[in-house]
Amino acid sequence: MESKEDWRLGRFVWIVTVVLLLLLLAARPCDGRGNRDIMHDDADTPKQPGCENSFVLVKVRTWMDGVETTELVGVSARFGESISNRAQEINALPLAVPSPATLCNMSSLLLTGRAALVRRGDCTFTKKARMAQAAGAKALIVINDKEELYKMVCDDNGTFLDIQIPSVMLPQSAGDTLEAGLLRDESVKILMYSPKRPVVDISEIFLWLMAVGTVLGASFWSAWTAKEAAQEHYRSMKDGGDSYVSDSEHDTIKDVVDINVVSACLFMVLASVFLLILYYFMSHWFLLLLVILFCVGGFEGLQTCMVSLLSRWFPKAAGTYFSVPLLGSMSILSLTVAPFAFLFASLWGVYRNLSFAWIGQDALGISLILSVLQIVRIPNIKVSAVLLGAAFIYDIFWVFVSPLIFDESVMIVVARGDKSNGEGIPMLLKVPRLYDPWGGYSIIGFGDILLPGLLVSFCLRYDWVSKKSLFNGYFLWTSVGYGLGLFWTYVALNLMVGNGQPALLYIVPCTLGTVLFLGWWRGELRSLWTKGEQVSQLENYVNSSRIHNHPHK
């Protein structure tokens, strides 16, 4: 077996890794649909006659000399004709660049039957649309001077019912591509359309099952390990060991880290500080550091899960230890599994941008979550109430309140990777949106699984040591509450399209609220609040054993 010093070193490494990764939980995307960022707040876009269109993302199919090329993405204007949601190739329009390029004056070139490709600047968007329409254009394409998509709005006063052509803005690189084709004297055609999203994508169902399954699996693993540890402890007492062991000494024996009220509060403070550091200093190298940390945590998690699973079939390999330089005592099974886990994590880190890399990310993420929920635990409901209550406020503040202070949602900016070339942080589970014409991913952050998972795991351990049945316990109803809270999160995302939603806003009331209500209803809230899972049915045995073996104590 491992020496106490080696175990302490391993536990220290785990604590450092867990804390670093927990600090990243908050910086997670709240809406994984993969939309391009659309600048300009809707509240600042006046609605007037002829200027009442909703902003929608627009796909722009392109053909150069009859060969279809890359499909571009833009955003429609507040004015003009609405963009169709169907793409009929017969409606493709030839593209032309007017003179002047900004089209703030009447074009010297006829645009009859064409789409005008113009540069942003020098005059209002509505003036460009009127000039293009007067020159005979059937559509207007505006090239932004940045990569962001900007919402084209109307002037403060006036009516715009006379503008009848559709208008779309493209990011700078996309517009430059079209313009380069025209400068090469190629025949360029475009077709604009805005397909609708499905109300529910099957990826959201898969992600829901993954999240709930991970929480349930981690809960049973945690409870089973705690039960085995308790049985081993009492067997050693029965065989003549010192039965007078305090709770703190017993906890030291077990490979777990208890969260207390102070650390729960400190966690959210440190998470907020770290989120601000990411917000101000996020860059490509900083993101690379986060990827490395995730790979380290994923490697540890994958190795822990594999060793725990395989030790059931290979107990001899799991129980035979060797001393390894710098690493301390390790079992043969751990030495055998470690190279595979290291290779898996390394390959994901190198090829993380491939289309199928989400599979490796989910595998590493689930392994990490399972291992963390196996090691970290809450001892009672009081700690859970402080932790989840703080996380609840934290989520709401950094999603909804931070725009009032920073002019943008800090959490969403960090999660989207706006300051790191669009590559988001890897601390999340994701599944590709299979039937969404806009692509993207359905996602859930680790924090939305780990933090409620601590409570669900506690409830199962409490039910087991209290000998409660499935329906009379707390685990079943808390698990249902978690699934329901996650369901309401996706409902909110679909109802409030384009607005990120903090999942804990819905999950915390459905989980913590369920436990508190049931505990109050059954008259067990005080026991849950203070003693927690220490209310073991074996307490009587322990007390009698202490009296029998240590009467002087």
Give the CA distances from residue 276 to residues 37, 81, 83, 272, in Å, rounded to whole numbers and listed in that order.
21, 42, 39, 6
Question: Residue 314: which residues within 8 A CB-CB, separation 6 or more?
Answer: 333
Which one of 362, 395, 436, 463 is the catalytic residue? 395
User: Is 461 buried (19+), middle (13-18) or exposed (0-12) by CB count in 10 A?
Assistant: buried
Measure the CA–CA gap between 22 and 7, rounded to whole angstroms: 22
Contact 434/28 with Cβ under 8 angstroms?
A: no
Half-sphere exposure of 359 (CA within 13 A, CB side): 5
Q: How far apart are CA 220 and CA 211, in angstroms?
A: 15
Instruction: List own/partner pairs for 536-539 with CB under 8 A and 24 or more apart.
Output: 536/230, 536/465, 536/466, 537/465, 537/466, 537/467, 538/230, 538/234, 538/465
Distance CA 53, CA 154 (A): 11
Coil, helix or strand for 360? helix
The residue among 136, 135, 170, 163 whose CA lies nearest residue 78 is 163
Give yes or no: 255 in active site: no
Q: How far apart are CA 33 and CA 14, in angstroms?
A: 33
For residues 213 and 226, give the distance between their C-alpha atoms in angstroms, rounded to a whole number.
20
Catalytic residue among 201, 362, 436, 448: 448
For the question of residue 448 being annotated catalytic, the response is yes
Of 346, 340, 258, 331, nearest to 296 by C-alpha is 346
Enumerate the active-site residues: 395, 448
